[in-house]
Structure 1
Amino acid sequence: MKIRLASQENTLLAQTLYMDEHQLTTDVPVSDGGENLGPSPHDLYDAALASCKALTVMWFARKKNISVFHIDTHITRDDSQERQGIYKLTTSLIIHGDFSEEEFHQLSAVAEKCPVHKLMTSVTTEISTKVERAA
């Protein structure tokens, strides 16, 4: 997948984010110089974890024929120590369905193993940046 962003005309900082056939607006809050026209990069980072946990649990439930009807997922961010290298995310999943206590424990364990959780906590991410002058 290729991700592309383009600055939105007539906005202060907003970008249109293109991911395959999907697109959305990303911006920063007014307090940071934007217009709050969409989620911030930090919001997208946090949302990646929330959506991965919910999708992973739902995928596992379907695979194992565990009756899960709905999942409510909440993320709470504590970025008060981000500059010191600590960024805290607290996730809460409320799983609605008809399942046993053993199946609930399986679903809980799977929530801890979603791929984005692993990326955020166990993997070294290498980033290279190329900046070019427009022709």
Structure 2
Amino acid sequence: MTIHIQRDKTGPMRQTVRIRQHQFTADQPVSGGGEDAGPDAHELYDAALGTCKALTVLWYANRKGLPLEDVLVQVDRDGSREREGVYKLKATMTLVGPLTPEDRERLLQVAAKCPVHKLMTEVTTEIETVLAD
């Protein structure tokens, strides 16, 4: 899969992000020289975790026939020690529906196994940045 990012010159820092048939804007907050026209890169990273947890929990509940009516995820970031190598995210899930305590605990365990959570905590990511021809 390829993701395309191109500068949108209508703003000083604005970027257009294209993923498959989807398009959205990323930007820096005003304090970072942008116009806050969209989420910044850290917010997209954090949102990937919350989205993955929600989708994984929904998929599992549907597959197992659990009475999950909705799932809400709030991701809070503490980036105060990022320069020291510590980036802390807390995902708080609200599970809606007549679930048993056992169902709720199982869904919490499933959320911890979402693919993005694993990428962030268990996988060595190799990044290569090159100039186009």
Taking structure 1 as the reference length, the TM-score comes to: 0.95
Unaligned runs of at least 5 residues, structure 2 = none
2:3 alignment counterpart: 3
Q: Give SS of 2:38's match.
A: coil
1: distance between equivalents of 2:81 and 2:99?
A: 39
User: Residue type of the partner of 1:86?
Assistant: V
2: distance between equivalents of 1:132 and 1:111?
A: 38
2:83 alignment counterpart: 83
Alignment root-mean-square deviation, CA: 1.0
The alpha-carbon deviation at position 132 of structure 1 amounts to: 3.5
2:112 alignment counterpart: 112
2:60 alignment counterpart: 60
The alpha-carbon deviation at position 8 of structure 1 amounts to: 0.4
1:121 alignment counterpart: 121
Residues 62-109 of structure 1: CA deviation (Å, up to 9, x unaligned): 000001111111011000110111000011000001222221121111
2:50 alignment counterpart: 50
Percent of aligned pairs with the same amino acid = 46
2: distance between equivalents of 1:95 and 1:102?
A: 13
2: distance between equivalents of 1:40 and 1:77?
A: 13
Q: Runs of at least 4 residues of structure 1 off by over 4 A?
A: none
1: distance between equivalents of 2:58 and 2:10?
A: 40
The alpha-carbon deviation at position 112 of structure 1 amounts to: 0.9
Taking structure 2 as the reference length, the TM-score comes to: 0.96
